[in-house]
Amino acid sequence: MSEIDQPEAPDPQPEAPMAPQAPAATMPAVEEAFEEIDVDAPLVGIIMGSKNDKEKMQKAGEALQDAGIRYEVRVMSAHRDPEMVREYCTNARFRGLRVIIAGAGMSAALPGVAAAHSDLPVIGVPISGKNLGGMDALLSAVQMPPGVPVGCVAIDGAKNAGLLAVRIINS
Ligand code: RP5
């Protein structure tokens, strides 16, 4: 077919008007999230017994950030703030959370108490302290009685807690 015989290209369709876009929710940087800011639609709640646990728990946030999974961070102690822990964990599923990561040191009740107040998967992170190298927290988190499940990672294993939460959410 010569150039002269080419059929004419149809007129381009008028462009459809753009649908109004909701502003994309931005994901805060890890350091910002660990300032306990409010996050839009988090899927994972990272809770810990003390602000002093933040440095070790930040690795969980990094793993979630790398996977693009939104999370929030809150400090609450099972021993010092029992009512706050009850309220947070009881409402967690209703608020859209899918996994709770709970880090605590010493006699670490937080993962178990979280699992007692929520039917979401709870990943416990035993935090090493000044004494006993974290064995106290490890045993508190891992030796849960039947019926109150806590998935426990290694002492100071926050990175794996984050990676495990990613796998749970993507499964
Ligand atoms: C736990 O007791 C916390 O998770 C922390 O690891 C440990 C000590 O708390 P701080 O005295 O450092 O606040 O509740």
Strand boundaries in 76-145, DSSP class E: 99-105, 122-127
pLDDT of residue 26: 84
The predicted pLDDT at position 20 comes to 64
Q: Which residues, other chains included, contact 3 with Cβ-Cβ below 8 Å and sequence gap of 6+?
A: none
Measuring from each residue's beta carbon to the nearest atom of ligand 1, which residues come in under 6 Å?
Answer: 48-50, 52-53, 77, 104-106, 127, 129
Question: What count of Cα atoms within 13 Å lies in the side-chain half-sphere of residue 161?
Answer: 35
Split the chain (171 residues) into runs of 10 and give each run's mean pLDDT.
Answer: 60 65 77 95 98 98 98 98 98 98 98 98 97 97 98 98 98 97
If DSSP codes are grouped into helix, strand and coil, which group holds residue 104?
strand
CA of 19 to the centre of ligand 1 (A): 50
**Closest ligand 1 atom number to CA of residue 51:** 13
* pLDDT value for 99: 98
Rg (the chain; Cα; Å): 23
Amino acid at 27: M
Q: Which of the 8 DSSP states describes residue 3? A: G
Instruction: Output the CA 14–ligand 1 centroid distance in Å.
Output: 63
**Ligand 1 centroid from CA 50, angstroms:** 5
CA of 105 to the centre of ligand 1 (A): 5
Q: Look at the block and give the residue holding tokens 């002269």.
A: 4
Residue 77 pLDDT: 98
Q: What is the pLDDT of residue 18?
A: 66
Closest CA to 46 of 24, 30, 66, 68: 30
How many CB atoms sit inside 10 A of residue 80's CB?
A: 11
